Structure 1
Amino acid sequence: MRDVDLERARGAGRVVLTGIGERTRVAEVHQRFPIALMFPEVAGGSAKEVVIVNASGGIAGGDRLDIEVVARGEAAVVVTNQAAEKIYRALDRPARIVTRLTVCETARLAWLPQETIVFNNARIVRQTEIDLHSGAELIALEWLVLGRTARGEDVVAGHVADGWRIRRDGRLIWADGLRLTNEVFGQLRRAALLGEWKAAGTLVYFGPCLDARLSCLREIALSLDCQCAATIVGALIVVRVAATDGAKLKRGLRILLEQFGRELGAGPFGVPRMWSC
């Protein structure tokens, strides 16, 4: 039996949002099962919220999901998902997730999905492509949890490839990649690699006043009950976070987003409401 012999998901979601002043509206929506896009009304919210739902309940080998978000004009948008995404054991083929974010003019976008949980022998290839215009503002987060500590799960084999490509005005300004294979998982607990950390993520910020905001993030990092470090790479702030389990990392990320969101002011930056549902 191979993954190709089984029924597999081919889901997609695309949303275009535009904004004038404090009003953001949905201009275009496309969705293909098992992906659905929801737009909950948030009382007193200063941004439009988009919630991605994977109706299949998880991702298996051979699945393909494509997500695209475009923010134009003065749109203020926060995008998250309904719950943690789960990557299940594969037979022989990886699941593929491609995320494309485009932030135009002076739009502000927060891409803040909940955790991606990787089970033993899962196979996943994920690519995040971001196109920015010089006047835009962005926070983008992706984070992985290698098994659920509370359930005694451990990941000792599989394949994880997680890549980023970020462009500003069409020019590549940052590229990053993580690749874990069966051979690597056997060495993963070495201090030079993940050591004791089973949950790790990357957060990037693009916007004005980078030096001041880097100082703010580094001050927040000192108060977190997880490992956190931040630096400037070209036109971006890059933040790495890690913890011994997913719950600790989520608590740390909540504090980081709450405090950094206050620094950035009203808008889409902060903890998405779906994180508390």
Structure 2
Amino acid sequence: MTAIPRAIPSGFDSGHRFDVGRRWAASLELGFAARQGVTRMVATRHRGPLRVQRPFHPEGRVGTCHVYLLHPPGGLVSGDALAISARVEAGAQALLTTPAASKLYRADSHGVAWSQHTRLSVADGGQLEWLPQETIAFDGSRGEQVTTIALEGDARCLGWEMMALGRPASQLPYASGRIEQRFRLMRDGAPLWLERQPLDPTHPRFLGRWGQGGASVQATLWAVGLIDETEAIEALREALPASPCWAVTIRHGVMLLRYLGLERNEAWDLCERAWQVLRPRLIGREACVPRIWRT
């Protein structure tokens, strides 16, 4: 079996410092493979507070393997460095999600940043659904999120990322800090979608109509491997509520649905409904909602 891709950046190390050099590292590496038609989690390695619950097969033994990623601290503080990687082999089907929203807390007095690196790879004939619950960034949070997805051959992938900035309901907007997001989606080494987005409330882009426009919630859903992309877009437009907060397009074989608005629940409901529409068209199976989403 191909080795699990490493998401751990160079120099990744742990320590118990409390100055500007503090670094608290955790990593999780997973591997999935088909064994006699059943997807098994065949490899798991972890360091620090990153774990998984035992795999579930709620869609039957030959259905998708559901796995919940657990980070007991529930959020990232200054110096935290998370690295998550997963490899899905040919014929395997995996769905990865989280039990709750992740939180990005305010930076410490030294302004030390946190980091989260995620690398997902899918072999020819494999299928991956990456469906984490939303991330909430507290005012003053500083860090970087890097997501890399490497597809091979006719591998299929559907996923999303959602970010809520600040806590408007508590009158605590995201007014300071800086979060850098980078996303890379490749097929056979060739780029399909590359994106870099700095979230800096002091930059004109943050409030400008040409940029963030003052929106506090954003979400991106992607799907790669749809057979009939035009029909899938029409199905989304019929199923989803009309709103100026979202749009959908196709670029280089990647379907992208974007949300930019003010409501976390609206973004979640939109993405979940879009997943329910797209999943049968992508992997030929109706959506099976992870039960952790309803607890």
TM over 0.5: yes
Q: Which residue of 2 aligns with 1:243?
A: 261
Q: Which residue of 1 aligns with 2:142?
A: 123
Distance 1:188 1:5, change over 3 A: closer
Q: Which residue of 2 aligns with 1:259?
A: 277
Q: What code does the residue aligned with 1:181 have?
A: D
What secondary structure does 1:90 align onto?
coil
1:163-182 to 2 correspondence within 5 Å? 163-182=182-201
> For 1:53, which of 70, 73, 78 is the aligned residue?
70
Give yes or no for the alignment of 1:132 onto 2:133.
no
Q: Which residue of 2 aligns with 1:274?
A: 292
1:183 is displaced (CA, Å) by: 2.4
Q: Which residue of 2 aligns with 1:97?
A: 116
Distance 2:251 2:278 in 1: 19
Q: What code does the residue aligned with 2:294 have?
A: S
1:69-218 to 2 correspondence within 5 Å? 69-91=86-108, 92-184=111-203, 188-209=206-227, 210-218=229-237
> For 1:230, which of 205, 226, 248 is the aligned residue?
248
Give yes or no for the alignment of 1:9 onto 2:24.
yes
| Stretch of structure 1 that moved more, 158-167 or 194-203 | 194-203
Q: What code does the residue aligned with 1:171 have?
A: A
| Stretch of structure 1 that moved more, 196-205 or 252-261 | 252-261
1:31-70 to 2 correspondence within 5 Å? 31-45=46-60, 46-70=63-87
Distance 1:169 1:135 in 2: 10
Gaps in structure 1 of 5+ consecutive residues:
none
Query: What does the per-residue CA deviation read over 1:128-169, in whole Å, with 9 as the maximum and x for residues that have no partner?
Result: 011001211101211110023333321111011011111111
What is the count of residue pairs matched by the alignment? 274
1:90 is displaced (CA, Å) by: 0.6
What secondary structure does 1:128 align onto?
strand
What secondary structure does 2:221 align onto?
strand
Query: Are the counterparts in 1 of residues 276 and 286 from structure 2 also a CA contact under 8 Å?
Result: no
Distance 2:249 2:174 in 1: 30
Q: Which residue of 1 aligns with 2:14?
A: none
Q: Which has the higher contact order (CA 8 A, sep 6+)?
A: 1
Distance 1:7 1:153 in 2: 27
| Stretch of structure 1 that moved more, 173-182 or 29-38 | 173-182
Give yes or no for the alignment of 1:29 onto 2:47.
no
Distance 1:66 1:74, change over 3 A: same
Q: What code does the residue aligned with 1:99 have?
A: T
Distance 1:24 1:233 in 2: 30
Distance 2:264 2:253 in 1: 29
Query: What does the per-residue CA deviation read over 1:14-60, in whole Å, with 9 as the maximum and x for residues that have no partner?
Result: 10001257410111101112111223434334210111111122101
Gaps in structure 2 of 5+ consecutive residues:
1-16
Distance 1:50 1:197 in 2: 32
Distance 2:59 2:189 in 1: 35
What secondary structure does 1:216 align onto?
helix
What secondary structure does 1:188 align onto?
helix
What secondary structure does 2:172 align onto?
coil
1:187 is displaced (CA, Å) by: 5.5
Query: What does the per-residue CA deviation read over 1:156-213, in whole Å, with 9 as the maximum and x for residues that have no partner?
Result: 11011011111111112210111022522x6623322223521101111110323332
Distance 1:240 1:93 in 2: 31
